[in-house]
Structure 1
């Protein structure tokens, strides 16, 4: 046991427990039994979760949920009244508040468009040191319950068949229509998504998330529960982080498969990605969009590209990631960043307003929390938010499961190849769903 201390606005008690992987399992087991839970795992990537290896926010001491209209104003008032840690999400449907002439689209599984909560219990893990804070319990009792917690017995095997919302012929025709918009100059690039879903489906969300973490451990992974609605997210992408007045965003555009069992072929894939004129062109378009978004909230001249076309290795893929940074103007905060940069450029395209109109026109289902963001804010206003991709959405009450996938469409897009890429992404998720039940 360590001495009591304060970690930004709350009193914490520290414990040296050893065996960090086991602590993470216990955190998820214990936290998932609350009606609201946000478990974030950096999987020990550097510079993730603002220097924590894992975070658990469990139970809602206070909360806010809102539909588009005046949601950001409500969030500002909520933040003003609660100088505490906040955890929550902004769904893709919040675009309708930023661009009021866009329609409000429903969430496939029932998440609110915007939701934030002050956690009743907050656990921060760094190395093998766990710091615990609670508004209602003695930290010793939480650690005792934590170390005794075990995962529930996995549900029985169920064959899950994901059904596409868009038949292949319709998808191919839509890509042709989007390329026609690009040819006419309506847009330069558009992220087009489609949904694959399953009804009357029962899964064990904790077990599925564990399997996702085993197969694809990524730095912005989140297990997020709101009553009986779940987000199981293995995201590699940061939307933005804010530390003091410094803000930076790290959009991803550009992907290549990895071959870790063949180092020569693996390195060749990395070089090919870096040399790809097509991937670079897509990446730089999004970088320019992010620069423009950040310039609305940052001091003039402070927005810079600190890394362009960086190649980052993840377990299954190489990603081309660029970093755009800036210094906030006086009086600006994390909500201003959300309002001016959401939805993120990597999940929309350029120019953003026109692309969002096309997304509303051509996509058959609402994205919901997919393409949105989940993150946290401490009492000093430091924040970290991900991009919700590589995810499974699930409603236990509706028995509805949804997986959305997409890709960046440019003039050079081949509809057949784009469709096969979507099928490949869904197949990977389906293997995880089946594997979690064996």
Structure 2
């Protein structure tokens, strides 16, 4: 244990120190109060062992990997693991080429709580290594030219076509996303993440590097966590912009709290999450702990609900993750039909976007986020991508949905100099 005098300075040095390894993961709660997080931030670096697999038997391979090590492991689930869970496929363009599932056992692991840093894996001298670490001189962040995969007209046309499916009764809500991308982007990933985390600090932020591929995330959303025998999911549905005028900002917040359309979207996903958790729960233990909670972040107010259950002791915790994946907030309802229509109407493979990354502890507790508000970058091919989307319902206004996409993209566009 070591008390840190300058936490932000240590964080910055630790991030640059971790980036010298082929694999690293940084998870940061950005000082948000959270009853479920074990630590304020964690840094895992260098792989003692790693698991990389495609959407075939991936969850069973993860079970074996965890059973072999019974150690802290860090990793991610790509959205396209849906193809293993359901009879689905993905054939769209994928410029990023992330594995479908990836986990590693770190050689070094530092956890931070209440002003104190603790080395969980590795020699305690690595804290001194980090504090004396000198990264290379900072380069100026370049302005990256960003293109959109869909024009505004194409987006609106697709939203209206999806609303026809809702009218026909095929679905009653769908999360429809579009990609922003750059094909010759040269960025410093760590500096870019630091800039994003400064512009948009969020409770489930993180940076994940795996062999030249990066997730740079300012996500505000938790997918699923396990503490003891309790599973908790916190889906987000409902977004409103912030205002610099305090009175107006408060009025916007109250308007979101009482918005019937946003509440309807939120409650549909709450029902879907309750259904997903029921597959892993002790009978009768699924509860909605908070409905329509309003939480404020630098760019947006969000409506967040919290659903929990007791994990059935006969169900492996990794099966509990599988039973809830992909998260309902990023698919729609009914889930399988929504995912089929996502494949039909979206034009880019989601891959790690709307997947999840996080960690599993030696005693089987875990915490995983939802990969939204995130820059994805392949440093080998210089392909940069981020996607944004929203819930489409019968009540949706396609023009307003498009504006909401731009609002959600605003922090990333600002960081990339647009």
Q: 1:297 to 1:104 in 2, by over 3 A?
A: farther
C-alpha contact 2:59 2:319 (8 A) present in aligned 1 = no
Q: CA deviation at 1:256?
A: 1.3
**1:287 and 1:196, CA in 2 relative to 1: closer, same or farther beyond 3 A?**
same
CA distance 1:402–1:188, shift in 2 (3 Å) = same
Q: Specify whether residues 274 and 426 from structure 1 end up closer, same or farther in structure 2 by C-alpha distance, changes over 3 A only.
A: closer
Q: Give how far 1:134 is off.
A: 3.5
- 3-state SS of the aligned residue for 1:434? coil
List 4+ stretches of structure 1 deviating above 4 A: 104-107
- Relative to the length of structure 2, the TM-score reads 0.96
Shift of 1:413: 1.6
Tell me whether 1:153 sits opposite 2:140 in the alignment. no
Pick from 220, 227, 231 the counterpart of residue 204 of structure 2. Answer: 220
Q: 1:33 aligns with which of 16, 20, 27?
A: 20
Is 1:79 aligned to 2:66, yes or no? yes
1:195 has 2:179 as partner: yes
- Unmatched segments (≥5 aa) in structure 1: 1-13
Match of 2:231 in 1: 247
Asked if residue 162 in structure 1 is aligned to residue 146 in structure 2, the reply is: yes
Does structure 2 retain, via aligned residues, the 8 Å contact 1:202–1:399? yes
2:77–2:100: 8 Å Cα contact kept in structure 1?
A: yes
Q: Does the aligned pair in 1 maintain the 2:92–2:347 contact within 8 Å?
A: no
Task: Please state whether the residue corresponding to 2:150 is helix, strand or coil.
Answer: coil
Q: What is the 5 A alignment of 1:56-95? A: 56-95=43-82
1:418 corresponds to which of 364, 380, 401:
401
- Within 2, Cα distance between the matches of 1:266 and 1:150? 41
Compared CA separation, residues 321 and 423, structure 1 to 2 (3 A)? closer
Contact 2:295 2:302 in 1 (8 A): yes
Partner Cα distance (2:399, 2:406) in 1: 11
> 2: distance between equivalents of 1:31 and 1:120?
11
3-state SS, counterpart of residue 167 of structure 2: helix
Structure 2 match to 1:400:
383
Q: CA deviation at 1:125?
A: 0.8
Q: Which residue of 2 aligns with 1:266?
A: 249
Deviation at 1:104, TM superposition (A): 5.9
Partner of residue 330 from structure 2, selected from 347, 371, 376: 347
In 2: Cα distance, 1:410 partner to 1:153 partner: 49
Q: Using a 3 Å threshold, how does the CA distance of structure 1 residues 267 and 426 change in structure 2: closer, same or farther?
A: closer
Q: In 2, distance between residues paired with 1:412 and 1:101?
A: 28
- Residue equivalent to 2:124: 139
Provide the C-alpha distance between the structure 2 equivalents of 1:154 and 1:86, rounded to a whole number of angstroms.
31
Distance 1:154 1:408 in 2: 39
Match among 183, 186, 196 for residue 167 of structure 2:
183
In structure 2, relative to structure 1, the CA distance for the partners of 1:333 and 1:307 (3 Å cut) is same
Which of residues 86, 89, 92 is equivalent to 1:102?
A: 89
Secondary structure of the corresponding residue to residue 308 of structure 1: strand
Q: Which blocks of at least 5 consecutive residues in structure 2 are unaligned?
A: none
Deviation at 1:156, TM superposition (A): 4.4
Indicate if the aligned counterparts of 1:303 and 1:327 stay in contact, CA closer than 8 A.
yes
Deviation at 1:158, TM superposition (A): 3.3
Correspondence for 1:256: 240
The answer as to whether partners of 1:223 and 1:231 remain within 8 angstroms in 2 is: yes
- Contact 2:90–2:349, Cα closer than 8 Å, also in 1: no
Q: 1:45 to 1:325 in 2, by over 3 A?
A: same
How far off is 1:262 after superposition?
2.1
